[in-house]
Structure 1
Amino acid sequence: MRLSDISNEAILLGGGARAILLQLAMPAVGRGVANHSDFASDPLRRLRHTLTYLYVLVYGTDDEITRITGHVNRAHTPVHSAPGATAPAYDAFDPRQQLWVAATLYDSALTVYTAVFGDLAPDDAESLYRQYAVLGTALQMPAELWPEDRAAFSRYWAQSLRELRVDAEVKRVGRALLHPAVAPLWIRALMPTVRFLTAGFLDPSIRASFDLPWNARRQRLFDRTVRVLGTVYPRLPGWLRHWPARHYLAAFRASASRPSAVPA
């Protein structure tokens, strides 16, 4: 299985907010992102830019990939922080912090995909895992830093989860992401569903750290929702399932005539 076989599935957007919350919960990453003014004032912008990066990286031409990675690297230049009392220094070019960001994107995509489509065959799962390393290596993460196989990744993930911390500042940014004050009406209308799915796909301890409400009734509703998605979503026409990828790629390509523009 290739990365391009699944990356354009719109259902994977259901893991986008999950990935960002997990990134925020890593102390070094959370401190840097929470203090970055662009994200604090418009958290959905990070999600839009992340999606653009992913879609271009998987489906773009070599020139387009060079352009998007150059843009992301320039955007990362001012994103850094000095060490504090409760968090280490953050630098967006730190390979281990890039590894964590890439890991959250992989784990969130796989979590949602398998919930809807079912488990992958072992060979497909391993092949897909290896390809996901490009999310980090495209931004200068050394390839050898990506855990060598899924078993190694599971150990890395378990250890990383034990290192996560959610302080008041990170919680504030997480709330801004899930309750956007600046967003089109249709996005705000979708946010209750986004919050529900995000909470359901999160590890219980992280869910509680972000004060996301959960109980047995919500769990039953989440389980039913995932079952319905697993029945309905794969039967939707491809043009609908792949619309977000086409949209973000088209927006990125339209910006080619405006070199100073930020892809959206």
Structure 2
Amino acid sequence: MARELADLNAEVILLAGAGRAILLQLADPGVGRGVAEHSTFTDRPINRLKGTLTYVYAVTYGTDEQVKEVRRRVNRAHVPVRRDADHETPGYNAYDPELQLWVTATLYDTALVIIEKIYGPLDDESADAMYRDYAKLGTALQLPPDMWPKDREAFGRYYDARMAGLRASDAAIRVGRGLLYPRHAALWYRAIMPFARFLTAGLLPDQLRNDFGLPWSGRHERRFHRTMKALAVAYPKLPQRLRHWFKNYCLSELDTFSRRAGRVSA
């Protein structure tokens, strides 16, 4: 499928994979402990998701000033997320390039899964371009360029090795369950969560689906496949202004913030 790269990473349908990417990240022991001890994720899930996607959009599509702004935001948020190892648990540090590699890998793999379910397999040129583009998400922070697997084949080996032993800790499960079953979120957010949980469960591997307590059966599996087939028919027919609206919204809001802060000219 020949498709411009911008038509891939700007697609709002990628939000369907948000839960999958987040739970994969939490299943890493360092990420899980850091989020559990320092994040307000479960109290402000929409703000956290919006912040992550604003970073993704700015690095992928933004101006130099937009990239500088989102880097400032992420690095500022990462400052307190660290803990020295002790006799009970290993330490963690949000600036750790290994953790940033894993977070970037989950974003890339999830985006690829969603895009190929909606549009079908990518041709090699589009797939390679998308892969290179996602490398920027990590290297814009503390991930050295040579740590990002050199090509998609190398990435597959890295990702399969990480997934083979990945299991969610108790701390990760608490955060994940708080996100999946919000108690204090807005009514509209709680209303969409049953469908979001269903999509997340369908996109997760069995071991993590079980770890996070997401029910699944043959009936769920059949419904999931029907849902994805329906989305693959209906979603591409939407006008681009709807398919790309969230990217445009996030970048516009970032520009507004920068003007008010005096970082760009009006």
Specify the TM-score bucket, using the shorter chain as the normaliser.
over 0.9
Structure 1 residue 3: Cα displacement: 4.1
Structure 2: runs of 5+ lacking an equivalent: none
Question: Could you report, residue by residue, the CA deviation over 1:123-181 in whole angstroms, capped at 9, with x for unpaired residues?
Answer: 22122212210010001210000001111111100111123221222111001111223
Structure 1 residue 182: Cα displacement: 3.5
Equivalent in the alignment of 2:225: 223
Q: Give the alignment's TM-score, normalised by structure 1.
A: 0.93
RMSD (Å), alpha carbons: 1.8
Over 4 Å off, 4+ runs:
84-87
For 2:100, what is the secondary structure of its paired residue?
helix
- What is the distance in 1 between the residues matched to 2:25 and 2:55? 16
Map 1:86-125; keep pairs closer than 5 Å. 87-125=89-127
Of 207-216 and 126-135, more deviation after overlay is shown by: 126-135
- Are residues 1:56 and 2:58 paired? yes
Structure 1 residue 88: Cα displacement: 2.6
Of 183-192 and 233-242, more deviation after overlay is shown by: 183-192
Q: Quick check: 2:60–2:133 contact (8 Å CA) kept in 1?
A: no
State the one-letter code of the partner of 1:43. P
Q: 1:84 to 1:217 in 2, by over 3 A?
A: farther
Equivalent in the alignment of 2:34: 32
Q: Give the alignment's TM-score, normalised by structure 2.
A: 0.92
State the one-letter code of the partner of 2:236. P
Q: 1:87 to 1:40 in 2, by over 3 A?
A: farther
Structure 1: runs of 5+ lacking an equivalent: none
Of 179-188 and 221-230, more deviation after overlay is shown by: 179-188
- What is the distance in 1 between the residues matched to 2:89 and 2:25? 14
Of 245-254 and 146-155, more deviation after overlay is shown by: 245-254
Q: Quick check: 2:32–2:169 contact (8 Å CA) kept in 1?
A: no
For 2:210, what is the secondary structure of its paired residue?
helix
Q: Quick check: 2:96–2:142 contact (8 Å CA) kept in 1?
A: no
Equivalent in the alignment of 1:235: 237
Q: Quick check: 2:25–2:106 contact (8 Å CA) kept in 1?
A: yes
- What is the distance in 2 between the residues matched to 1:54 and 1:63? 14
